[in-house]
A and B are shown apart, each in its own frame.
Chain A
Amino acid sequence: MKEFTEQKATTLPTAFWRSLRRILPADGLLTKPTQVAVYECDGLPVYRARPLAVALPRTRAQVGLVLALCSRYGVPVVARGAGTGLSGGALPHAHGIVLSLARLNRIVAIDPHNRTARLEPGVRNIAVSEAAAPYGLFYAPDPSSQIACTIGGNVAENAGGVHCLKYGLTTHNVLAVQFFTADGVLHEVGGVTGEGPLDLLALLVGSEGLLGVVVEVMVRLTPKPPATVALLAAFRSLGEAAASVSAVIGEGIIPAGLELMDALALSAAQDYIGIPYPPDSQAVVLAEVDGDLATIELDVAHVRRLLLGHGAFAIEEARSEEDRRRLWLGRKSAFPAVGRLAPDYYCMDGTIPRSALVSVLAEIGERSRHYGLPVANVFHAGDGNLHPLILYDAKIPGELERVEELGAEILRLCLAYGGTISGEHGVGVEKLDGMCAQFTAAELATFHALKSAFDPHHLLNPGKAVPTPARCVEPGGMHVHGGRLPFSSLERF
């Protein structure tokens, strides 16, 4: 198996740099440490590395030429959108370049008749819905970073959001992509219905930049629902709240969103935004139902009954846009709110079968007490996607290691209940060890074989998303995050 290139490139020939400059616009190549520093990490700043340079092409032709050049010189390339990813997927390679797609930010076309949009990868997620709004359409996947994150990054990570329970993830909403393989050759897969001789689209979406660099995406646009109602239900225990979610799902109702916040998250959000939740709330469930008016009335009544039946002691209902925004505000600002409770927090991301919510939340609570590390839970309960936030102080020696240990235990818990180590944040560099727990050596080898089919020299985002078999047999399994330190971590692969 091809190991990741790290031997090359510390001193690249001047011909490489000359060619790179020629390809890129005058302001399109950053090499000074002060310029490059901004790109050292993504949304998971505990991992940092400084790339040799950052390339900022403006056209897809330039992207292809940069890739072909890097391929010729064996230079690793890490593609990057807005850098909002939460698993270190855009962490630079110390011997490679960062290929920023941020300047390819044109909305190529909105086709309201066929309800599609063609986008360059640097278009921000929210900008798609804004451009589609005059036609009564929107782009459904809405990750919480949607004001900043880009469509290219969404494709790489198979981004979700609070409404994917009903409207699906990125993979359900992308119809076609144009992408370059590492050798700088352009390919187009998918089509009007997303179909093709082999479903390469399925492989590309969520491939974390390992298989290709996307330069155009065609997405499906969805008509805005005629009406939307949000419900906020307060519970006196987390268990009751979780059970109510399982009950709503168990009835076969598919709300547009179904979210849960526990007591710690509630108090943080309350302090942060100043909007009070019902006194004595130990957990709240936020349910959003949309569709035609008749369906909504049926669904809202049904969801209300289920929430009340599972111990909700107060239910607020919001129908106007303004009221709904207010109900959602606490949820949307929960991460920064929790961030104020402790110097640092570690955001986990695992998925479990929805019927296991009550047991898994109880077990997470037990482990949190055992480690003496507070855990706040704010998550997409409707699709079983947990986001436990572990609060800690990185300045206390040994604390980060304990946090990672607790995190690994939580992920193992997800696996034990038949879930997965990553629901939507991706594997990146963060969850490589978790991959060893979820997949066998033969399965990981298959991923590497597929990687090689697209990128035989492993130049695209090397070392991410799929661990080498060697890493998986290292002692300690998930406990060992050998080298949290940025550079030593990179040297491993």
Chain B
Amino acid sequence: MTHDDTATLAAIVREAYDRQTPLEIVGGGTRRHLGRAPDGQPLPLASHSGVVEYEPSGFVVTVRAGTTLHDLDAVLSREGQKVTVDIPRFSSTSTVGGAIAAGFTGPGRPYTGALRDSVLGTRIISGTGQVLTFGGKVLKNVAGFDVSRLMVGAFGTLGVILDVTLRVSRCPEDVQVIEFEMSWSDARERLKRWEGDLPLTGAFYHRGVLSVRLAGRAARVTAAVRELGGERGRPEVFTELRDLALEFFRAPGSLWRLLVPPDSPWDPQETLIDWAGAQRFWVTLAPAQKVREKALQYGGQAVWVWGPDRSEGPWAAPPAATMALLTRVKAALDPQAILNRGRLYPDW
């Protein structure tokens, strides 16, 4: 279960660099449908696995990228702890490295932070085959540029993630889900009022129903449930939302995330509003241009998640000068563009 594959992996990347042959980094293989289709020979990370260091009293864990989230959960839960941030798992083979590379954060995002905020340090193999360590295992660290956070959501295009140091937290004593039928504008007002005042750890709005998750100390959760009223919801619903496994996500079409100012109206009404308003999931057959325009209409941006046409890619290209800057950043870490070539943008 626990195995350090660093030397082998670094040698493979070094050789690929010398030959300029691309590699597709593969962990548990559960996120291969995200992003554009990459070129290259598979570079399997699954055997590079296990906990490197875990000190429960420090609330920090360092884990190899090929470790499954399932196994990590098991290690942490023995100490009554869990990863602080809400990380999607698409199946029991989903790995930590894949989660970091894809960069998705579940419904806890407004309350327990973004995935990038839980990443304290990383060890990577650069596109030249060098093993590099950035960040560390402490909460405050301003030495050097923050390359660890840069790895989050980069789809493996900047480095092969070897190890990650993550913040962990105590498991909540109790978790309850309650639902309210109300308009989106009422729901949004309530969410604002409740922030910081109630033990909220998730809130989504779909088909005229606001679902909130309350988690924390048992006494506190019980009191909040009593105070709020509403109907009891299924406890698993937030896990299914986190893992993009709700019935909602099975509709035909492409899945998009619209990132908009949270106060924006519920538009279109076929969207599912997550992150207390800031993220709207939309499964649609509408052309990409139309989806991007919808996000733009509210001053936000659209991110493609999955769908039949993978050529779209998650992010639209930014203005030319900024795209050139991104390309230079990519080249600084992966000069031959051998890592997950084409996954984020064509040719890099």
What is the interface of chain A, defined by CB distance below 8 A to chain B? 111, 113-116, 157-158, 160, 164-165, 168-169, 171-172, 181, 185-189, 191-200, 202-203, 205-207, 211, 222-226, 246, 249-252, 291-292, 294-295, 298, 351-355, 380, 383-385, 418-427, 431, 434-435, 438-440, 442-443, 446-447, 449-450, 452-454, 465-466
Q: Which chain A residues border B138 with CB–CB below 8 Å?
A: 351-353, 383-384, 418-420, 423
Whether B259 contacts A383 by the Cβ 8 Å rule is no
B169 on the interface (CB 8 Å rule)? yes
A211 to B328, CA, bound (A): 13
Whether A422 contacts B136 by the Cβ 8 Å rule is no
Whether B260 contacts A192 by the Cβ 8 Å rule is yes
Whether A207 contacts B315 by the Cβ 8 Å rule is no
B288 on the interface (CB 8 Å rule)? no
Whether B325 contacts A193 by the Cβ 8 Å rule is no
B269 on the interface (CB 8 Å rule)? no
Given known contacts A114-B263, A192-B260, A160 and B114 CB-to-CB distance under 8 angstroms? no
Whether B142 contacts A157 by the Cβ 8 Å rule is yes
Q: Which chain A residues border B81 with CB–CB below 8 Å?
A: 252
A114 to B328, CA, bound (A): 33
B326 on the interface (CB 8 Å rule)? yes
Whether B170 contacts A169 by the Cβ 8 Å rule is no
A427 to B146, CA, bound (A): 13
Q: Which chain B residues border A443 with CB–CB below 8 Å?
A: 132-134, 144
Whether B333 contacts A447 by the Cβ 8 Å rule is no
Write the chain A residue with the least CB distance to B262. Answer: A114
Given known contacts A169-B140, A191-B259, A355 and B195 CB-to-CB distance under 8 angstroms? no
Whether A452 contacts B263 by the Cβ 8 Å rule is no
Number of contacting residues on B, CB 8 A?
76
Whether B137 contacts A418 by the Cβ 8 Å rule is yes
Whether A226 contacts B332 by the Cβ 8 Å rule is no
What is the interface of chain B, defined by CB distance below 8 A to chain A? 55-60, 81, 103, 109, 113-114, 116-117, 126, 130, 132-134, 136-147, 149-150, 152-154, 158, 169-170, 192, 195-199, 216-217, 219-220, 223, 259-263, 275, 278-279, 299-301, 303, 314-315, 318, 321-322, 325-326, 328-333, 344-345
CB distance from A273 to the nearest CB of B (A): 27
The 6 A-B pairs with the shortest beta carbon distances in the complex, nearest first, are A252-B170, A202-B149, A453-B328, A449-B332, A197-B315, A423-B140
A450 to B132, CA, bound (A): 14
From A193, A384, A434, B143 is in contact (CB under 8 Å) with: A434
From A165, A292, A453, B325 is in contact (CB under 8 Å) with: A453
From A111, A186, A191, A465, B300 is in contact (CB under 8 Å) with: A191
From B117, B139, B219, residue with most partner A Cβ within 10 Å: B139
Write the chain A residue with the least CB distance to B324. Answer: A185
CB distance from A146 to the nearest CB of B (A): 17
Whether B117 contacts A298 by the Cβ 8 Å rule is no
CB distance from A81 to the nearest CB of B (A): 16
A176 to B144, CA, bound (A): 21
A127 to B309, CA, bound (A): 48
Write the chain A residue with the least CB distance to B53. Answer: A418
Whether B136 contacts A419 by the Cβ 8 Å rule is yes
Write the chain A residue with the least CB distance to B299. Answer: A192
Whether B259 contacts A197 by the Cβ 8 Å rule is no
Q: Which chain B residues border A226 with CB–CB below 8 Å?
A: 196-197
From B136, B144, B170, B329, A200 is in contact (CB under 8 Å) with: B329
Q: Which chain B residues border A223 with CB–CB below 8 Å?
A: 192, 195-197
Q: Which chain B residues border A252 with CB–CB below 8 Å?
A: 59, 81, 169-170
Whether B169 contacts A202 by the Cβ 8 Å rule is no
From B55, B142, B275, B345, A353 is in contact (CB under 8 Å) with: B55
CB distance from A260 to the nearest CB of B (A): 15
Whether A446 contacts B326 by the Cβ 8 Å rule is no
A353 to B139, CA, bound (A): 8
Whether A195 contacts B303 by the Cβ 8 Å rule is yes
Whether B322 contacts A189 by the Cβ 8 Å rule is yes
Apart from A202-B116, A426-B142, 7 more pairs, CB < 8 Å: A165-B139, A168-B113, A195-B259, A197-B314, A419-B136, A427-B143, A442-B132
Given known contacts A249-B59, A295-B217, A353-B138, A171 and B143 CB-to-CB distance under 8 angstroms? no
From A113, A158, A199, A383, B139 is in contact (CB under 8 Å) with: A383
Write the chain A residue with the least CB distance to B60. Answer: A353
Q: Which chain B residues border A298 with CB–CB below 8 Å?
A: 217, 219-220
Whether A188 contacts B322 by the Cβ 8 Å rule is yes
Q: Which chain B residues border A453 with CB–CB below 8 Å?
A: 325, 328-329, 331-332
27 A-B pairs (CB sep. < 8 Å): A165-B139, A168-B117, A192-B260, A192-B262, A195-B114, A197-B314, A197-B318, A198-B330, A198-B344, A199-B154, A202-B150, A203-B145, A206-B142, A223-B195, A223-B197, A251-B170, A294-B223, A298-B219, A380-B140, A384-B140, A385-B140, A418-B137, A420-B143, A438-B143, A439-B133, A442-B130, A450-B332
